[in-house]
Amino acid sequence: MINLVNKMKTIKHNVKNEIIINKSRFICFLHKINSETEINQLLEKLKKEYKGATHYCYAYILGNVKRFNDDGEPNGTAGIPILNVLEKNELNHILAVVIRYFGGVKLGAGGLVRAYSTSVSECLNKTKIVNMVEGYEITIKFNYEKSKIIDHILKDYNILNKKFSDNITYVFKISSKNYEKIEKQIKDFEINKKSIFVIDSSNT
């Protein structure tokens, strides 16, 4: 199991928000994350989607790891202000990316700090902060004749992915507490279990 505190906070939904300050566009993205692989994939995706932007600044908190990047902005004017907003709200398992299109007006060091902080804060206002608990991402494989049984067992859980071939494969996330409730019912099936943090359904 992940060696961290039993509960932490994150955002309920991934969100995007855009603000304009002195003709510069600041586009903020807040995403829940469970691995650095996810972070790298998302950064690559955003750089392709927003090709031509002046800066792609970000910060993330993943467990005990905290990192930030100014991406060419003056040292300490982008990544740290982004990280400070995440820390102030006690968030974890979260990535904040702020993409800037320079509008021709220099903001100065203080102006940049305020702009990046405001961008993240306003984006955060578009979602809800929720608790996270230890849990699993489960991949379960079963025969077609067992589909009704599995569907009944998992009726209260959101299936993230379904694949149909010679067998059926479901992927879903579940808290450790809820997994204990269904563990005996699914123990005879082919299961792959990855430790992650999930949103605490009792606080959503």
Residues 120 and 137 in one domain: no
- Alpha-carbon span 88 to 81, nearest angstrom: 10
76 sits in the region (left: phi over 0; alpha: psi -120 to 50; else beta) called left
Q: Which helix (H) or strand (E) holds 151?
A: helix 147-153
User: How many separate domains does the chain show?
Assistant: 2
Residues 56 and 20 in one domain: yes
Q: Which residues pair with 172 in a beta bridge?
A: 138, 159
CATH code of the domain in which 184 resides: 3.30.70.120
Specify whether the CB–CB gap between 96 and 61 falls below 8 A. Answer: no
79 lies in which domain range? Answer: 7-127
Q: pLDDT at position 197, please? A: 83
Comparing C-alpha atoms, which of 122, 120, 36 is closest to residue 79? Answer: 120
The answer for residues whose C-beta is within 8 angstroms of residue 168's C-beta and 6 or more apart is 141, 142, 143, 144, 147, 150, 162
Its pTM stands at 0.78
Q: pLDDT at position 120, please? A: 98
Residues 116 and 174 in one domain: no
- Alpha-carbon span 144 to 134, nearest angstrom: 31
Residue 198, Cβ neighbours under 10 Å: how many? 22
Which of 100, 127, 154 is the C-terminal boundary of a domain?
Answer: 127
Residues 45 and 83 in one domain: yes
Q: pLDDT at position 150, please? A: 95
Residue 1 lies in a domain: no
Angle of helix 79-88 versus helix 108-124 axis, rounded to 10? 40
Specify whether the CB–CB gap between 99 and 30 falls below 8 A. Answer: no
DSSP 81-146: HHHHHHHHTTB-SEEEEEEEE--S---HHHHHHHHHHHHHHHHHTTS-EEEEEEEEEEEEEE-GGG
Residues 114 and 187 in one domain: no
Q: pLDDT at position 202, please? A: 62
Q: Mean pLDDT of successive 10-residue segments in the chain (204 residues)?
A: 58 96 97 93 97 97 95 97 97 97 95 98 96 91 95 92 96 92 92 86 58
Residues 164 and 101 in one domain: no
Residues 23 and 58 in one domain: yes
Comparing C-alpha atoms, which of 118, 34, 113, 129 is closest to residue 78? Answer: 113
Residues 111 and 187 in one domain: no
Residues 110 and 144 in one domain: no
Q: Token pair for residue 127? A: 């979602």
Residues 96 and 138 in one domain: no
